[in-house]
């Protein structure tokens, strides 16, 4: 089950609702003041999670692409750095594929 945190703007109370409940009302009300806050939206939560994960992966991909470029241009004397430079392209390729897969998955939830 996926939880979602809500905060009531009227009484400022925070609470958690489970998003996946079969055959239940999708409306969210504050348990304290009974104010209507919205609808449960699993797709929104999943798209948000995918976007946050994609952002972190893009940051790492960009960082590793820069490392790949630097190590491709230099001849490293240190064996560990030489191995890192020769293998980093594999990780970059995996990140690129993963980001493409996440983008495709995100489009399914929109």
Tokens of 17: 């609702």
User: For the chain, what is the radius of gyration of the CA atoms?
Assistant: 22
pLDDT in tens, 27-56: 778 888 888 777 766 777 788 889 999 999
Residue 9 has a pLDDT of 80
pLDDT tier at 25, thresholds 50, 70, 90: low
Domain ranges of the chain: 3-40, 43-109
Mean pLDDT to the nearest integer, 98-108: 94
* Number of residues written out for the chain: 110
């Amino acid at each position: 089950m996926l939880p979602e945190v809500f905060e009531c703007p009227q009484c400022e109370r925070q609470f958690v609702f489970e998003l996946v409940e079969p055959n239940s009302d999708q409306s969210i009300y504050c348990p304290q003041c009974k104010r209507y806050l919205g609808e449960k939206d699993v797709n929104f939560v999943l798209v948000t999670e995918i976007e946050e994960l994609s952002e972190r992966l893009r940051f790492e991909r960009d960082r590793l692409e820069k490392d790949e470029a630097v190590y491709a241009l230099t001849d490293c004397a240190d064996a560990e750095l030489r191995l890192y430079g020769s293998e980093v392209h594999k990780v970059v390729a995996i990140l690129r594929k993963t980001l493409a897969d996440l983008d495709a998955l995100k489009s399914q939830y929109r």
